[in-house]
Amino acid sequence: MKANVVHHFGPPENLKYQDWPDPVPREGEVRIRVHAATVNRVLDVSLRAGKEMFRGPTLPLIPGVDCAGVIDAVGPGVKNRKVGDRVAAAGSMPLDVWPEDGPAYNGPEGMMGIRRQGGFAEFVCVPSRVTVDVPLGLDFRDAAVVMRHVPTAWNLLFNIAQLKTGETVLIMGAGGNLGSVGIQLAKNVAGATVITTAGSDDRCAIGLKLGADHAINYNTHNIQDEVLRLTDGKGVNVLYDNIANPKVLPLAFMAIGFRGRLVTAGAHGGPNVSINMAHLYHKQITMRGQPGNNPADLPKCFAAAVEGKVKPQIARIMPLSQAAEAHRLTETGEEPGKIVLDPTLDK
C-alpha cells in the first residue's frame, strides 16, 4: 500500500509518501480501506514536528488520528463486522490484541496515528470494537470530520457543561473546528443562545452563518464588555474553549455568570492564562478540562450530522500523496475548516 510515514521528527517534508507493507488484522481486528482522514493541527502537525513527545509516539509512524472507510478484511474471531461495512475510527484504543468476544480490555492503550499506525494510508487495522457505523446518508469525508470533532464537542457541551435549552453559551474560536461544531450543537441540538468570538470579521461571519446569535471580533471589541451588554449584565452560563488565548480568555472568563461553567479540550494558544480567582470564587464557577468522548454519544453525533444539525466545515480535500503540503497549509492556519486527505484521489 501507499502511506505517509514519519521516520524522523521535523518539518513537513519529513512526512514521506512511500510504499509500505499492507497491514494484516490480528485477532479481533478489522482492516479499513481508508476513504478519508483529517489533518489535525496538534495531533498530526505538531506531533510530526516533534513537539508532542509526552504522547509517546513511536517511529517509524504513519500519522492520522482518525479515518473513515470500508472494511475490506477481518481478523480471526471477528463476528460483529464484515467486509463492506462503512465505518469510522479515531482516538485512543488498545495496543495489544483485544478479542471481539473477550473481557473488558485492561492492557496498554494509545491513539491511532501516535502509538499505533494511523489513517494517513490506504489501509489501517483497528480493533473491531472501536469502529463506529457511518450512516449511508453521510459521505466518508464528512464522517471523518464528525468522528474527530463532534463527539468531543458533544461531550463538553452536554455531559460536562450540561448545557440546557434557554441557557447562553460563549463559544471561543468561531473559525476553528471545535468552535464551528460547538456553535452548531449548542444552537441546533441544545437550543441555547450562542455568542461566539473570533479574531476577524470574516471569521465572525462564519460563526453567524453557522447559527450563532451574536459574534464578537475580539481584536476590535472587549469580549467582557460585549458579552455583559448582550446578556444584560448576567454573563454566560457556559464558556466553551479549546484555545487558551492568554490575551482573550481572561476577559472571556470575566463574562461567566453566577454558577457558570468553563469547559475546554485544548490549550494550543496558551497554555498559561491568568484567571481572576476572586471572580471564580464569588461567581461559584466550575472549570473542567475534558478531552475525548463518551462512546455512547457516537451514534447521536452521526445522527445529528445526517439530520443536518451539524455540518462539518471542510476547507480542502486533498489526495493522500499531498499530505506534506496539507501539513504546511494547516501550520499556517490561514484557512478556516478542516483539510481532509482522500486516498481514492490518487487512483
Together in a domain, 278 and 158? yes
Nearest to 76 by CA among 101, 96, 93, 94: 101
The DSSP annotation for 286-317 comes to EEEE--S--GGGHHHHHHHHHTTS----EEEE
Whether 301 is in a domain gets the answer: no
Together in a domain, 54 and 171? no
Together in a domain, 173 and 206? yes
Together in a domain, 190 and 241? yes
- What is the helix (H) or strand (E) element at residue 179, kind and residue range? helix 177-185
Together in a domain, 129 and 153? no
Measured between alpha carbons, how far is 279 from 255 in angstroms, rounded to an integer?
A: 10
Beta carbons within 8 Å of 221's beta carbon, 6+ residues apart: none
Whether 139 is in a domain gets the answer: no
Instruction: Answer for the pair 20, 2: CB distance below 8 angstroms, yes or no.
Output: yes
Range of the domain at 37: 2-134+313-346
Whether 240 is in a domain gets the answer: yes
Residue indicated by cell numbers 472494511:
71
Indicate the SS3 state at residue 116: strand
User: Which CATH number belongs to the domain containing residue 318 in this structure?
Assistant: 3.90.180.10
Together in a domain, 259 and 321? no
Together in a domain, 174 and 283? yes
Mean pLDDT, 10 residues at a time, over the chain (347 residues)?
A: 98 97 98 97 94 94 98 97 98 94 92 97 97 96 96 96 97 93 98 97 96 98 98 98 93 98 88 94 96 90 97 95 96 84 94
Measured between alpha carbons, how far is 239 from 73 in angstroms, rounded to an integer?
A: 44
Together in a domain, 15 and 76? yes
User: Which CATH number belongs to the domain containing residue 222 in this structure?
Assistant: 3.40.50.720
Whether 340 is in a domain gets the answer: yes
Whether 144 is in a domain gets the answer: no
Pairing of strands 2-6, 15-19: antiparallel
Number of domains making up the chain: 2
Handedness of CA 228, 229, 233, 236 (dihedral sign): negative
- The grid cell for 156 is 463538553
Together in a domain, 92 and 45? yes
Whether 142 is in a domain gets the answer: no
Whether 244 is in a domain gets the answer: yes
Which ranges in 186-322 belong to alpha helices (H)? 201-209, 223-230, 249-253, 277-282, 298-306
Together in a domain, 125 and 207? no
Together in a domain, 108 and 31? yes
Beta carbons within 8 Å of 236's beta carbon, 6+ residues apart: 168, 169, 170, 195, 227, 255, 256, 257, 260
Together in a domain, 250 and 339? no
Residue 326: half-sphere exposure toward Cβ, Cα within 13 Å: 30
Indicate the SS3 state at residue 47: helix
Indicate the SS3 state at residue 4: strand
Whether 198 is in a domain gets the answer: yes
Phi/psi of residue 343, each to 5°?
Answer: -60, -25
Q: How much is the pLDDT for 323?
A: 98
Instruction: Answer for the pair 113, 144: CB distance below 8 angstroms, yes or no.
Output: no
Pairing of strands 168-171, 86-90: unpaired
